[in-house]
Structure 1
Amino acid sequence: MAHIDYYLTPLSPWVYMAGTRPAEIAARNGATITYKPLDPGALFQRTGGKVLAERHESRQAYRLQELRRWSARLDMPLTLKPRHFPTNGAPASYAIIAAQAAGDGDVAALLHGLGRACWAEDRDIADDAVIRDCLAQAGFDPALADHGLLAGAETYGRNLEEGIAAGVFGMPFFVVGEERFWGQDRLDMLDEHLAGAG
């Protein structure tokens, strides 16, 4: 059985654009998936990338065009400049880690709900109330937002190290064995790879 390591930050508009498709691709191909939130700033610093504010203005302008185009193509609502971006992605990441460990809800729905909260609903995903609401909507106990913070922080740091070792440099990033797929626009290729490996 193939396995997907999905490296992400719930703050990424591209992770939001990926939606629940990674989970659907995994299910369709009989693969398993592990969600691995990590710190994007630390990842970029260690792999030669730059956070958005440090990128050249031409890159920032092109990003906005791409977001607009992909939002239209995928028919997904998107605020190009949400009120609460950037924000602290760690609390939402810890909630994803805790939810995945709890295993009694839908992690893909949780991740997508957090992305939608930031990119379509202008809510702050660093806010405990927003995180609790997203947990509940995905079938998890909202109290997960208050538990396992130490374990979440440890896993968050471990995900960064594992991601760097696996060749991750951006998000969303999918690793299947030796194969790597960067970006929501490579999900078709991930699907094709898994179909051929089955």
Structure 2
Amino acid sequence: MKTITYYFSPQSPWAYLGHAQLMAMAEKHQADILPRPCAFGTQVFPVSGGLPLKQRPAQRQEYRLIELKRWSEYRGIPLNLHPQHFPVDETIAARMIAATIKLEGNAAALALTGALFRAIWAQERNIADADTLIEIGNNCELDGAKLYASLDSGSELFEQYTQEAIANRVFGAPWYVYEGEPFWGQDRLSFLERALAKTGSA
């Protein structure tokens, strides 16, 4: 079975823009996806040279908005360039995703991840709020209260994934790995698909 390892930040607009295509691509090529929520801002960036958005030069911040609008229109995915709840403390959401991986499996965690992306970038919802997280979990046909109560069980896994990302030289989100080859950014999904197709034709 083909396997894609998927490192991401729950508040990354780029991961949001590529998430649906990644899911469709994996289904098309019969590949499993291993979701890996990571602490990019607090742990990955400091050791890889990355900067939180507010610390980046103005010209980089301005161009980021141009690219987000461009990719949102290209993919036909709604995206608010200035969402009310961004930046946000994503730690609890990431731990909830990790708890879902542990308790419900990867498919459920990926569905929850997609819902959390939409909550920030299309629905003006706060993923640092407990009631919001529980409701989003319930809307994914999961037991939101149970998952929220299991945050401690997800904390260790979240830290494990973060250290795994650092060890694997990950420096940005989203980051996909297939057969040892890294692909940084949702704009590299076409290259990932070529690698998947090539394996399938071997």
Place the TM-score, normalised by the shorter chain, in its bin: over 0.9
- Number of aligned positions between the proteins: 198
Tell me which residue corresponds to 2:25. 25
Tell me which residue corresponds to 2:90. 89
Contact 1:166 1:175 in 2 (8 A): no
Runs of 4+ in 1 over 4 A off after TM superposition: none
Deviation at 1:148, TM superposition (A): 2.4
SS, match of residue 135 in structure 2: helix
Q: Distance in 1 between matches of 2:195 and 2:54?
A: 35
Q: Distance in 2 between matches of 1:27 and 1:71?
A: 22
Q: Which amino acid aligns with 2:7?
A: Y
Contact 2:98 2:109 in 1 (8 A): no
Deviation at 1:46, TM superposition (A): 0.8
Contact 1:20 1:109 in 2 (8 A): no
1:135-174 aligned within 5 A: 135-174=137-176
Using the size of structure 2 for normalisation, the TM-score is 0.92
Identical columns (%)? 38
Distance 1:92 1:19, change over 3 A: same
Q: Which amino acid aligns with 1:131?
A: L
Q: Distance in 1 between matches of 2:26 and 2:77?
A: 21
Deviation at 1:60, TM superposition (A): 0.2
Tell me which residue corresponds to 2:49. 48
Tell me which residue corresponds to 1:78. 79
Q: Distance in 2 between matches of 1:125 and 1:162?
A: 24
CA RMSD between the two structures: 1.5
Q: Does 1:61 align with 2:67?
A: no
**Structure 1, residues 61-83: CA drift from partner, whole Å, max 9, x if none?**
00000011111111111111111
Q: Gaps spanning 5+ residues in structure 1: where?
A: none
Tell me which residue corresponds to 1:132. 134
